[in-house]
C-alpha cells in the first residue's frame, strides 16, 4: 500500500473540509477549500485513494507546503462512489445571460414589432440583418438600458428599453464581392420602438464608443437615423443640459476619413437629423420626415402646433438637396446603402457593359437638338452600376457614382435639358461637393461637358453666383484625383473650364467628340460683340444679317473640335466609341493611391 501526503499549494485559510477519515475518494475529488486574497483554491486528489488522516479544520491558517491530509492509494470503481463533479445542466450564470439575450430579440417584443409592421416599416434588427452579411454582426452595448433607474424598475427597463433604443456593432457588407478586409463596417441603428428612437444618455455613450472604433480602424459607418432627437426623461444622467456630449463632434470628425451612410425612414428630427446631415450620402424613404426640430420643440419655441408629417417631407427634402437618394422603403434603402458602399470597396471583376458603338449616336448631329445625357452616362458605365446622387436638386448637373469595366468612378455631367446645360448656383454647389467626396476617397472623376457656360442675368446674380461658381475653381484646385473631361458638345467660357477642373490643361486629359464646339463665350454673342463695328456699318439689314451669318459660320468652324485640337487647346478628338478605351488608358497611367492612415481632406462638405 502506498501512502501519500496532500499539501497546501499556497498561504491561506481553510474554509471547507469536504472529506472525513476513511472516505474512499476518486481521482479529481475536491477535499479541502482554501481562501487566499479573496479567492477560493480547491485542493484535489490526483489519484483514487482512501483518506487515512486529516490535519486541518475550517478556520485553520495554513502555509504553502503544509500537510493537509494523508491517503492510501486504492482503486475506485465508478459505482462505488459518486463523483463530486456536478452534471446538473446549464450553469446559472449562463442561463441568466441567455435569458437577457432572449429579451433583446424581436420575437420577445411581439407587440412592439406588430405596431412597427402595421406602419409598413421594419424593426431596427430586421434592417441590420438585411444590410449585413449573414453571421457577421458583433454587437456592442446590447445590455444597455435607459438611464431612468430612479423612476423605473430594473425589470421594466430591461423589458421596455432594450439597448437603450440604439443597436450598435461591427459587421461586414458585400464581403462575398470584395473580400473581408475592405468590407468591415460600423452599424449604428436607432430603434424607434424604444422611446421613439430618442437619444439618451447611455446610447450617446454607445455612439461615442462606436465612432471611436470607426476612427481607430478607419471603418465606414452606416447610420439608421430614425428618431425624435434628445430625450428629456433620462433622470439618472448627470449634469444639466448635456451640451458637453461628444457624439456630434465625434461623428463629424469621421467626415472625409471614412464613408458615412445615413438612412432615414419615418420621423428623423433634431439630434438624429444632425447626425444624418453629417453623412456623405443621405438615403430617405417616401414616408420620411426630416427636420432640425420636431413638433414639441417647434411648439415650445412659440411657433405653434404642427404635425410631424408637415415637417421636412420627402418631396421637399429631395428637391432642396438634403436627400441624396429617394427610395420607396427601407428594403430599397438598404440595397442602395450596399451599392453605395461598394464603390469604396474596390474594383469589381464581374461586370457587363454596352457596346462601344452605342455611344456614337447619342448626341444628335443637329447642334440645337436636345438629348438625354443620362443615356450617355448609362451607356458609358457598366450595366446597372450607376447610382445618381441628388437627382432632384441642382438639376443642371448630374452627379453619379458608377463603374467602368469594374473600376469605381465619379461622373459629373451637364444636363442640356435644363437651361441648355448652363451651370446655375444649385448645380455648382452640387458638383463642388461631389468633387470633394470623390477626392476624399481617391475615386477618379469623369466630367461630361456640354455647357454654354455659367448662367447669366440680373435675376441669376441674386443667388450669389459669384461665390458659388468660384467654389468650383477652388475645389478643383484642391484635389489630386485623376480627372478626365469628355466634351460631348458645347464647351464655352468659364463654365466649360470649371467642368474641366479650372482649365483645359489643368487636369489629366480633355478630349472631345466630333460634335464638340468651343468658344470663350457663346459664338453668336461673341460675333455680335466682337464685330459690332463691322455689323453696324452694313448698308442694309439684309447685308447685316448676311455678314453676321458668315461671321458666325466662320466662328463655328474655328471653334470646332478639330480646330481646337489643331491648336492643342484640347488633347484630342475621339470617336465616341473609343471613349471607354480612352478613359481606361488614362486611368491606368495614373498612379495607384497609396493606402491612407488618415484623412486626405479635412472633411467632405455637407452641402
Q: In what order do the strands lie in the sheet with 12-17?
A: 39-44, 30-36, 12-17, 61-62
Residue pLDDT, tens place only, 249-285: 999 999 999 999 999 999 999 999 999 999 999 999 9
Q: In whole numbers, what is the pLDDT of the chain averaged over residues?
A: 92
- Sign (positive/negative) of CA torsion 473, 408, 189, 329? positive
pLDDT of residue 85: 41
- What is the reported pLDDT for 231? 87
What is the reported pLDDT for 179?
77
Q: What pLDDT, in 10s, does the model give residues 179-224?
A: 777 899 999 999 999 999 999 999 999 999 999 999 999 999 999 9
> For the residues 362-380, what does the mean pLDDT come to?
95
Q: Report the C-alpha gap between 283 and 159 in whole angstroms.
A: 31
What is the value of pTM for the model shown? 0.87
Architecture of the domain spanning 356-516+560-589: Alpha-Beta Complex (3.90)
Percent of the chain with pLDDT over 90: 76
What confidence score (pLDDT) does residue 88 get? 54
Distance CA 434, CA 371 (A): 24
pLDDT at 139: 96
pLDDT digits (tens, 9 = 90+) for 133-174: 999 999 999 999 999 999 999 999 999 999 999 999 999 999
Q: What is the pLDDT of residue 89?
A: 66
pLDDT tens-place string over residues 531-542: 888 888 888 888
Look at residue 550 and tell me whether its pLDDT is greater than 90: no
**pLDDT tens, position by position, 149-159:** 999 999 999 99
Give pLDDT tens digits for 456-507: 889 889 999 999 999 999 999 999 999 999 999 999 999 999 999 999 999 9
Cell of 186: 460600423
Q: What is the 3-state secondary structure of 487-550?
A: EEEEEEHHHHHHHCCCCCCCCCEEEECCCCEEECCCHHHHHHHHCHHHHHCCCCHHHHHHHHHH
Q: What fold does the segment set 3-73 form as a domain?
A: OB fold (Dihydrolipoamide Acetyltransferase, E2P) (2.40.50)
Q: Where are the domains of the chain?
A: 3-73, 122-342, 356-516+560-589, 522-559
Q: What is the 3-state secondary structure (H, E, C) of 301-363?
A: CCCCCCCHHHCCEHHHHHHCCCCCEEECCHHHHHHHHHHHHHCCCCCCCCCCCCCHHHHCCCC
Per residue in 4-56, pLDDT (tens digit) is: 999 999 999 999 999 999 999 998 899 999 999 999 999 999 889 999 999 99
Give the model's pLDDT for residue 244.
Answer: 83
CA neighbor of 391 nearest in space, from 335, 430, 342, 440: 430
Q: Are 207 and 165 in contact (CB under 8 A)?
A: no
| Residue range 122-342 in CATH 3.90.1150.10 | no
Condensed to tens digits (0 to 9), the pLDDT of residues 60-118 reads: 999 999 999 999 988 765 445 444 444 456 788 888 999 899 989 999 899 999 999 99
pLDDT at 437 over 70: yes
Q: Tell me the average pLDDT across 308-332.
A: 96
Q: What would the mean pLDDT of 387-396 be, rounded to a whole number?
A: 98
- Write down the pLDDT at residue 82: 47
- In terms of Cα–Cα distance, which of 44, 47, 43 is closest to 13? 43
Q: How many CB atoms sit inside 10 A of residue 324's CB?
A: 25
Q: Residue 162 is placed in which grid cell? A: 432594450
- Domains 3-73 and 122-342 are alike in CATH topology: no
Amino acid at each position: 500500500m502506498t501512502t501519500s501526503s496532500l499539501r497546501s499549494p499556497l498561504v491561506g485559510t481553510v474554509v471547507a473540509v469536504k472529506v472525513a477519515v476513511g472516505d474512499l475518494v476518486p481521482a479529481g475529488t475536491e477535499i479541502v477549500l482554501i481562501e487566499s486574497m479573496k479567492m477560493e483554491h480547491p485542493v484535489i486528489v490526483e489519484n483514487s485513494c482512501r483518506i487515512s488522516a486529516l490535519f486541518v479544520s475550517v478556520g485553520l491558517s495554513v502555509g504553502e507546503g503544509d500537510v493537509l491530509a494523508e491517503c492510501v492509494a486504492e482503486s475506485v470503481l465508478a459505482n462505488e462512489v459518486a463523483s463530486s463533479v456536478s452534471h446538473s445542466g446549464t450553469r446559472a450564470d449562463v442561463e441568466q445571460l441567455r435569458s437577457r439575450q432572449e429579451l433583446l430579440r424581436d420575437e420577445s417584443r411581439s407587440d412592439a414589432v406588430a405596431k412597427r409592421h402595421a406602419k409598413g416599416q421594419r424593426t431596427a434588427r430586421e434592417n441590420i440583418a438585411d444590410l449585413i452579411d449573414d453571421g457577421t454582426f458583433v454587437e456592442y452595448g446590447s445590455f444597455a438600458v435607459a438611464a431612468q433607474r430612479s423612476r423605473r424598475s430594473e425589470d421594466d427597463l430591461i423589458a421596455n428599453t432594450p439597448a437603450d433604443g440604439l443597436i450598435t456593432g461591427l459587421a461586414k457588407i458585400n464581403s462575398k464581392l470584395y473580400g473581408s478586409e475592405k468590407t468591415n463596417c460600423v452599424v449604428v441603428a436607432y430603434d424607434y420602438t424604444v422611446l421613439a428612437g430618442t437619444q439618451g444618455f447611455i446610447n450617446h455613450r454607445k455612439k461615442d464608443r462606436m465612432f471611436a472604433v470607426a476612427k481607430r480602424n478607419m471603418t465606414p459607418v452606416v447610420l439608421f437615423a430614425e428618431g425624435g432627437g434628445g430625450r428629456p426623461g433620462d433622470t439618472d444622467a448627470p449634469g444639466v443640459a448635456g451640451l458637453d456630449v461628444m457624439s456630434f463632434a465625434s461623428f463629424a470628425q469621421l467626415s472625409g476619413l471614412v464613408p458615412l451612410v445615413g438612412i432615414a425612414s419615418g420621423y428623423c428630427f433634431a439630434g438624429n437629423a444632425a447626425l444624418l446631415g453629417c453623412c456623405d450620402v443621405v438615403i430617405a424613404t417616401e414616408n420620411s420626415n426630416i427636420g432640425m426640430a420636431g413638433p414639441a420643440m417647434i411648439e415650445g419655441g412659440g411657433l405653434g402646433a404642427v404635425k410631424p408629417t408637415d415637417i421636412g417631407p420627402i418631396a421637399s427634402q429631395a428637391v432642396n438637396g438634403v436627400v441624396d437618394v429617394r427610395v420607396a422603403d427601407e428594403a430599397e434603402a438598404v440595397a442602395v446603402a450596399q451599392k453605395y458602399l461598394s464603390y469604396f470597396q474596390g474594383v469589381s471583376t464581374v461586370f457587363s457593359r454596352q457596346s462601344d458603338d452605342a455611344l456614337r449616336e447619342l448626341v444628335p448631329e443637329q447642334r440645337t437638338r436636345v438629348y438625354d445625357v443620362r443615356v450617355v452616362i448609362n451607356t458609358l458605365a457598366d450595366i446597372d452600376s450607376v447610382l445618381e446622387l441628388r437627382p432632384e436638386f441642382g438639376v443642371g448637373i448630374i452627379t453619379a457614382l458608377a463603374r467602368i469595366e469594374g473600376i469605381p468612378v465619379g461622373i459629373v455631367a451637364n444636363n442640356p435639358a435644363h437651361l441648355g446645360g448652363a451651370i446655375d448656383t444649385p448645380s455648382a454647389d452640387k458638383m463642388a461637393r461631389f468633387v470633394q467626396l470623390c477626392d476624399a476617397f481617391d475615386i477618379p472623376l469623369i466630367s461630361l461637358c456640354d455647357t454654354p457656360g455659367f448662367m447669366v442675368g440680373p435675376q441669376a446674380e441674386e443667388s450669389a453666383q459669384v461665390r458659388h461658381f468660384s467654389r468650383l475653381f477652388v475645389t478643383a484646385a484642391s484635389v489630386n484625383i485623376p480627372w478626365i473631361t469628355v466634351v460631348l458638345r458645347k464647351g464655352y467660357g468659364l463654365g466649360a473650364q470649371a467642368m474641366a477642373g479650372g482649365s483645359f490643361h489643368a487636369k489629366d486629359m480633355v478630349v472631345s467628340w466630333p460634335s464638340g464646339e468651343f468658344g470663350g463665350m457663346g459664338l453668336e454673342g461673341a460675333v455680335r460683340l466682337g464685330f459690332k463695328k463691322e455689323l453696324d456699318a452694313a448698308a442694309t439689314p439684309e447685308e447685316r444679317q448676311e455678314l453676321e451669318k458668315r461671321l458666325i459660320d466662320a466662328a463655328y468652324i474655328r471653334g470646332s473640335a478639330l480646330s481646337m485640337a489643331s491648336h492643342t487647346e484640347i488633347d484630342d478628338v475621339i470617336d465616341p466609341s473609343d471613349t471607354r478605351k480612352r478613359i481606361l488608358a488614362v486611368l491606368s497611367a495614373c498612379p495607384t493611391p497609396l493606402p491612407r492612415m488618415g484623412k486626405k481632406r479635412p472633411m467632405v462638405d455637407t452641402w
